[in-house]
């Protein structure tokens, strides 16, 4: 959401943003412009990186990377020789081995410790010094802790180029664009990016009512401001229409009308909201086969992607964040459920190997570096807490032909989840909640969820939420099956299982899984008080 004017950071920038919207909306990116730009950028990645490093790091005294580079003895000339001599990715690996990187905890404000050197860290200094026409918007979500993100028109136009290229690869021009998400920075940026691509949304459905009592009025006014600005520019940008999670029929009916008119509805949403939309269509007896989905925000697991296939729709995942922008887009000839092409024109990445792992950076961790001055945050070997399988297989799909050749799949968070004193990996939770419990007790990948609450005395209680639509079931048996599945493996896992059993921490409750402000159905939802975090993710 847009901050109210009295508290808007950088009032002059906010005014420039509003004044720039009209020309922004009237001058969309063309396919030829996007193709030409992509070819140029892929051919000049090293030069672009070096130019950004000079301007946003070496010439920016507040850059958090400057003391790390100096610690490594890497001045501008050294970096230039390293990149030109070894190549960009090898140069980044060399810098990582010299301690030039940031973990998730460090990005959140933890002091950076490299040997005997300890550096205080201010997350705000990751912000790009080049942004001009921007406003700050609330970013609801679990990782962001409700922090703000900058919405910059130049950034939105650049991301619009990748939007138009992905539509070009999918033969998606002329699709009826539909957005299913809550108000906030993700919604506003997505609306602007598609407008920049010349494919504005026809409808915006929100599972949160912007008019609900008690909500900050900025949720209501942010969408309206963009809607009115679009009308002034002759571009229709829809306002949010409330569609409750319990009854998504209006969104399904819109898709049905588009299909009956021999059109193609294209829904852009989170993975779990997309699954819920397909389930709502099936429950209402409405046929949506032939629809297209673009899904993001959560792991695109095989079980969740299978739910789209059962509905007869094509769902293509993407991977990224509000701050980094899009990192990868779904392969159009995938061998894995979440196989995607890394968008190498905007960023570079390296992967931590087993011998190179550090505290907070296990083997397989991905570290990202920015190549574009329009990046909201300047990244140099920065972890966002994810690992993936990386490959270079030839797939022959249109995205490979555009020049995006590296593949990522099985993208998962390596940040451990802790509940009730039990620590386990995200992948373990996914496996049990999405595969084993549905196989034994019925339902699908969004019907089971762990919710941790904290009692007044500070103790933890864990509820295994099971959707009531699955009908009667042996609830103690469900709890036992979960604990048995989690307890398999090493001795430590078995100890954790016994601890939960002995403490009686786990109970099964029959209610719909909770949905976050950003429209996600998380595998583990913590209702414990959490400390505020100052870093953007």
329-349: per-residue pLDDT in tens? 999 999 999 999 999 999 999
Q: Does the pLDDT value for residue 496 go beyond 60?
A: no
Residue 262, Ramachandran bin (φ over 0: left; ψ between -120 and 50: alpha; else beta): left
Q: Does the pLDDT value for residue 118 go beyond 50?
A: yes
Query: 502 pLDDT band (50/70/90 cuts)?
Result: low
Pairing of strands 340-342, 407-413: antiparallel
User: Quick one: pLDDT at residue 146?
Assistant: 40
Considering the chain, what percentage of its residues have pLDDT values greater than 90? Answer: 50
Give the Cα separation of 440 and 520 in Å (integer): 24
User: Quick one: pLDDT at residue 7?
Assistant: 44
The average pLDDT across 52-69 equals 94
The average pLDDT across 321-326 equals 74
Specify the 3-state DSSP secondary structure of 393. Answer: coil
Of 295 and 453, which is predicted with more confidence? Answer: 295
User: Quick one: pLDDT at residue 391?
Assistant: 93
User: Quick one: pLDDT at residue 9?
Assistant: 46
Query: 455 pLDDT band (50/70/90 cuts)?
Result: very low
For residue range 137-191, list pLDDT tens digits in order.
544 443 443 445 567 788 888 889 999 999 999 999 999 999 998 777 778 889 9
User: Quick one: pLDDT at residue 141?
Assistant: 41
The average pLDDT across 402-417 equals 84
Query: 126 pLDDT band (50/70/90 cuts)?
Result: confident
The average pLDDT across 115-122 equals 86
Contact partners, residue 387, CB within 8 Å, separation at least 6: 351, 362, 363, 364, 365, 366, 411, 412, 413, 414
Query: 217 pLDDT band (50/70/90 cuts)?
Result: low
User: Quick one: pLDDT at residue 537?
Assistant: 26
Considering the chain, what percentage of its residues have pLDDT values greater than 70? Answer: 81
The average pLDDT across 109-138 equals 77
Of 188 and 398, which is predicted with more confidence? Answer: 398
Helix-helix angle 218-233:11-26, to 10 degrees: 40
The average pLDDT across 94-105 equals 94
6-20, 75-89, 128-142, 201-215: which is most confident: 75-89
Alpha helices (runs of H) in 321-425, residue ranges in sequence order: 398-402
**What proportions of the chain, in percent to the nearest 5, are helix, strand and coil?**
40, 20, 40
Two tokens, residue 468: 């009531």
Of 504 and 301, which is predicted with more confidence? Answer: 301
DSSP letter assigned to residue 238: P
Q: What is the pTM (predicted TM-score) of this model?
A: 0.79
Are 420 and 505 in contact by the 8 Å Cβ rule? The answer is yes
Computed over every residue of the chain, the mean pLDDT equals: 83
Residue where the block lists tokens 């979960």: 482
User: Quick one: pLDDT at residue 161?
Assistant: 93
Going from N- to C-terminal start, the domains of the chain cover: 36-126, 417-526
User: Quick one: pLDDT at residue 527?
Assistant: 66
CB atoms within 10 A of CB 374: 18
Give the Cα separation of 274 and 179 in Å (integer): 10
Q: Does the pLDDT value for residue 71 go beyond 90?
A: yes
Instruction: Give the angle 358-363-366 at the CA atoms, nearest 5°.
Output: 90
Give the Cα separation of 518 and 420 in Å (integer): 25
Q: CA-CA distances (angstroms) from residue 536 to 32, 124, 140?
A: 34, 8, 12
User: Quick one: pLDDT at residue 509?
Assistant: 93
The average pLDDT across 71-78 equals 96
Two tokens, residue 268: 């852009």
The average pLDDT across 514-527 equals 73
Pairing of strands 448-454, 176-180: unpaired
Are 227 and 193 in contact by the 8 Å Cβ rule? The answer is no
Of 387 and 322, which is predicted with more confidence? Answer: 387
Give the Cα separation of 57 and 59 in Å (integer): 6
The average pLDDT across 76-90 equals 97
Q: Does the pLDDT value for residue 529 go beyond 50?
A: no
CATH topology of domain 417-526: GMP Synthetase; Chain A, domain 3 (3.30.300)
Give the Cα separation of 80 and 256 in Å (integer): 56
The average pLDDT across 32-56 equals 96
């Amino acid at each position: 959401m847009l901050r109210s004017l009295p508290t808007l950071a950088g009032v002059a920038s906010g005014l420039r943003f509003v004044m720039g919207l009209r020309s922004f909306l009237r001058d969309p990116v063309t396919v030829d412009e996007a193709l030409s730009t992509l070819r140029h950028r892929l051919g000049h990645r090293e030069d672009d990186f070096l130019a950004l490093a000079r301007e946003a790091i070496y010439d920016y005294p507040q850059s958090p990377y400057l003391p790390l580079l100096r610690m490594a003895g890497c001045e501008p000339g050294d970096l230039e020789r390293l990149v030109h001599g070894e190549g960009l990715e090898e140069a980044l690996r060399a810098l990582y081995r010299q301690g030039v990187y940031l973990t998730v905890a460090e990005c959140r404000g933890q002091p950076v410790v490299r040997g005997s050197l300890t550096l205080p860290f201010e997350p705000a200094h990751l912000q790009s010094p080049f942004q001009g026409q921007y406003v700050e918007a609330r970013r609801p979500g679990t990782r962001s802790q409700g922090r703000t993100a900058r919405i910059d028109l130049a950034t939105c136009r650049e991301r619009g180029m990748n939007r138009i290229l992905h539509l070009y690869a999918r033969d998606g021009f002329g699709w009826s664009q539909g957005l299913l998400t809550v108000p906030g920075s993700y919604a506003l940026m997505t609306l602007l990016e598609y407008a920049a691509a010349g494919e504005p949304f026809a409808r915006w459905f929100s599972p949160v009512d912007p008019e609900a009592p008690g909500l900050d009025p900025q949720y209501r006014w942010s969408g309206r401001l963009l809607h009115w600005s679009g009308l002034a520019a002759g571009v229709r940008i829809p306002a949010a229409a409330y569609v409750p999670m319990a009854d998504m029929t209006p969104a399904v009916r819109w898709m049905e009308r588009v299909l009956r008119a021999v059109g193609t509805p294209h829904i852009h949403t989170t993975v779990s909201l997309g699954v819920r939309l397909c389930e709502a269509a099936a429950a209402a007896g409405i046929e949506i086969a032939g629809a297209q989905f673009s899904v993001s925000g959560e792991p695109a697991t095989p079980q969740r992607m299978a739910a789209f296939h059962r509905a007869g729709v094509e769902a293509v995942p993407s991977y990224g964040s509000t701050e980094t922008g899009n990192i990868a887009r779904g392969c159009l000839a995938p061998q894995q459920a979440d196989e995607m092409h890394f968008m190498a024109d905007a960023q570079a990445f390296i992967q931590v190997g087993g011998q190179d792992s550090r505290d907070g950076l296990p083997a397989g961790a991905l570290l990202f570096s920015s190549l574009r001055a329009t990046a909201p945050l300047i990244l140099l070997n920065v972890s966002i807490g994810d690992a993936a399988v990386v490959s270079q297989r030839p797939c022959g799909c249109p995205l490979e032909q555009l020049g995006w050749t590296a593949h990522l799949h099985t993208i998962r968070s390596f940040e451990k989840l802790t509940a009730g004193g039990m620590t386990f990996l995200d992948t373990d939770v996914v496996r049990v909640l999405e595969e084993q419990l549905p196989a034994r007790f019925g339902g699908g990948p969004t019907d089971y969820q762990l919710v941790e609450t904290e009692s007044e005395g500070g103790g933890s209680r864990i509820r295994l939420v099971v959707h009531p639509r699955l009908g009667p079931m042996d609830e103690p048996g469900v709890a036992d099956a979960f604990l048995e599945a989690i307890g398999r493996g090493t001795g430590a896992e078995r100890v954790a299982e016994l601890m939960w059993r002995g403490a009686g921490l786990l109970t099964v409750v029959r209610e719909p899984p909770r949905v976050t402000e950003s429209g996600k159905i998380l595998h583990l939802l913590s209702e414990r008080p959490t400390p505020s975090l100052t870093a953007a993710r």
